[in-house]
A and B are shown apart, each in its own frame.
Chain A
Amino acid sequence: MCLGIPAQVVERLDDGLAKVDFGGVRRSVSVAFTPDAEPGDWVLVHVGFALAMLDEDEAQATLRLLGEAIEAELAS
């Protein structure tokens, strides 16, 4: 039920809506809860509403930890 899908903002539309791209599928969603979302930004979409902006620095930090886990396993 609480399914959230990452999507990239394509353009802002009127009335608090934006067109977003889910890996090729495009749909208009409400960005009322992420008012700063601009074209190019990634958002998490749930039932037609963007609930959060995705943070690339945080994502990279998580991937770095995964990289360290791979190196630790190779070294062992």
Chain B
Amino acid sequence: MLIKKPDDIKSSEITDQEYYLNRRLFMRSAVLAGSVAVTGLLYRKLNPPPAVVEERPRIAGLVTPPSDDAMRKGFKVSEAQTSFEDITNYNNFYEFSTEKRSVASEARGFITRPWAVEVGGLVNKPKTFDLDDLLKLAPPEERIYRHRCVEGWSMVIPWVGFPLSTLLKEVEPLSSGRYVAFQTLLDPKRMPNQNTGVLDWPYVEGLRIDEAMNPLAILATGLYGQTMPPQDGAPIRLVVPWKYGFKSIKSIVKMTLVDQQPPTTWNIQAPNEYGFYSNVNPGVDHPRWSQRTEHRIGEYTSRNTLLFNGYADQVGYLYEGMDLRANY
């Protein structure tokens, strides 16, 4: 019954072979193009392009010390400065992301006002400073420092800040206050990666009091003449250029003078890899890699790492007679 008569399909309706093959070619091209698009988008999602560099408000009344004097004191180095783009897009700030490239976008919009820093412990005049009070303590100075990360890369960063000693003198440390303990903000709502357990939050750091009083140790509130970008530790961070980068704790809310060596985050994380001192030292290797050379961001060959990151003249006296291998 269902046998069709030969002329049911008109010959004009039969798809001709060329058209059929074209259709197949078309389908295949579509499959190929579609799959390439999906793979490409997947790759893009996993490797997003660097965030756009945002200019920050400029800091007024910046003091630049006379060049010769600054060089002698270690306040300025003559090496080429790392670009603003690189400084603000290559960050170790685990409170936002463990991915250096992603910190900038994760930290965007981080609210830093109001901000208070509580300074207390073994001091005569404990005080909680509002950020604006801190900014009035001393005129903003430019300090062009080398920055050496324990991972083996380095930068040259024009910080803006004031000596840590200025703040410490303000609260009058007792003679029993032999160490300064620092603490980063703990607020998983504003620092989303604190919801993970990659580190023991809040981030804590510490210095010996004589290290803290050294003129090279500063509290930085900006870089490149602009207020501190969130990804670099806004609104206020420590900078101790002769130590590996992780010692320079970011987004500080608390400083406490204590009589014993305070716990420090990376030392808690891996005691045999990161010591309390963590001075830059090409002669003492990290257990998993050499510290002899470093990769300067923006350069294509590696350079030799210097003892105390090149600040031996300024800070060497602090460690005289100490075994730097034991006190890594």
Partners in one complex: no
Interface residues of A (CB under 8 A from B): none
List residues of chain B with CB under 8 Å of any chain A CB. none
